[in-house]
Structure 1
Amino acid sequence: MRLLKSTVHPSVSASEPRQFTRLTSRAIALKGTDILLMYTARYEDFSLPGGGIDEGESIEQGLIRELQEETGAQNIKVLGEFGLYEEYRPWYKDDFAVIHIKSYCYFCCLDKQLGQAQLEHYEQQNGMVAKWVNIHDAIAHNERTLANSDKQGLSIIRETYLLKQIAKQL
């Protein structure tokens, strides 16, 4: 898969020996200029649905599972690769200083009508909800959050970059 971007948080080093790698998948589901995103109230941002790949899963299997869990999506078909976003961020648990996140992004198609999501407890607490949103509105929203909010999480930079790259292909 082609590398879209590699970033290193300013507080860490990519060569830090106390790091671990987390493989994740991200779904790009489009209906015209509308895209299926997760809105997180805690961080006031939009992000692509997806998450960690479980042991024994392929990246595509993890993508489908995460998409079903987070959005209630049905009749999911993986259409093809978009690209890989890699990042090194600070980590404060389990004797590691750095987390190396590899986000594999895929185009998908699915039913526009979503079923019942099965969010994890922390996702519910963060106020996550799946929404079909105009991609340009989502980018503008995330840019306002980056400029004005002190609640933003570390993922908003990745998500805004990915949304802009997707919008260029529309």
Structure 2
Amino acid sequence: MRGDQILLLFTERYNDFSLPGGGIDEDKDIIVALKRELEEETGAQDVQVNEHYGFIEEYRPYWKPQFDLMHMTSHFFLCDVAPELADARMESHEVANGMKPVWMPVSEAVNHNRQVMARQEETMGQSIQRETFTLEKIADELVSA
């Protein structure tokens, strides 16, 4: 974050803003994965992890038909990055979904996501509720602090 600005990903396919991140195997180091994801998805450089902000544990329908539920724990961290972003190195599915890193006011991202949810857009992704909830907490706890 920089003032009220936060580094997010906008995904055209889902028309939403989300925090950078990705999945890791249980035996992998979360900080190493965090830095890698920030660098790959946003082009962030010189990533410094300052503190663990919190986590959300959720169960939701699994996208593979042979499974009923997916259990996921999402961790959130406060980080500093260099002022300039390098080119992002997105995976092919991220490029296909139209993901782009953006700095923007947290309140604008929250308002945009809320409008998408209110309209129940056909392309709305499953993660928008979690991402919007987290962005609301950030707006309340970190931006107005």
* TM-score exceeds 0.5: yes
Is 1:40 equivalent to 2:40 in the alignment? Answer: no
What SS is found at the alignment partner of 2:79? strand
Gaps of 5+ in 2: none
> Higher helix share goes to which structure?
2
Cα RMSD of the aligned pairs, angstroms, is 1.3
Unaligned 5+ segments in structure 1 are 1-29
Q: What TM-score, normalized by structure 2, do the two folds share?
A: 0.92
How far does residue 56 in structure 1 lie from its aligned partner after superposition?
Answer: 4.1
Q: Is structure 2 residue 107 aligned with structure 1 residue 150? A: no
Instruction: Determine helix, strand or coil for the equivalent of 1:52.
Output: coil
Partners of 1:54 and 1:62 within 8 A in 2: no
TM-fit CA distance, 1:147: 1.0
Q: Are 1:160 and 2:127 counterparts?
A: no
What is the DSSP-based 3-state SS (H/G/I as helix, E as strand, rest coil) of the residue aligned with 2:70? strand
Q: Is the aligned partner of 1:91 residue 2:62?
A: yes
Out of 18, 27, 46, the position equivalent to 1:75 is 46
**Alignment size in residue pairs:** 141
Alpha-carbon spacing, 1:94–1:112, altered in 2? closer, same or farther (3 Å): farther
| Structure-2 residue corresponding to 1:128 | 99
Report the CA distance between 1:44 and its aligned residue: 0.3
Stretch moving more, 118-127 or 56-65: 56-65
Cα pair 1:90 1:99 within 8 Å, conserved: yes
Identity of aligned residues (%): 44
Pairwise CA distance, 1:97: 1.5
TM-score, normalising length: structure 1: 0.79
1-structure distance, mates of 2:26, 2:73:
15
Instruction: Provide the residue aligned with 1:53 in structure 2.
Output: 24
Alignment match, 2:108: 137
SS at match of 1:50: coil
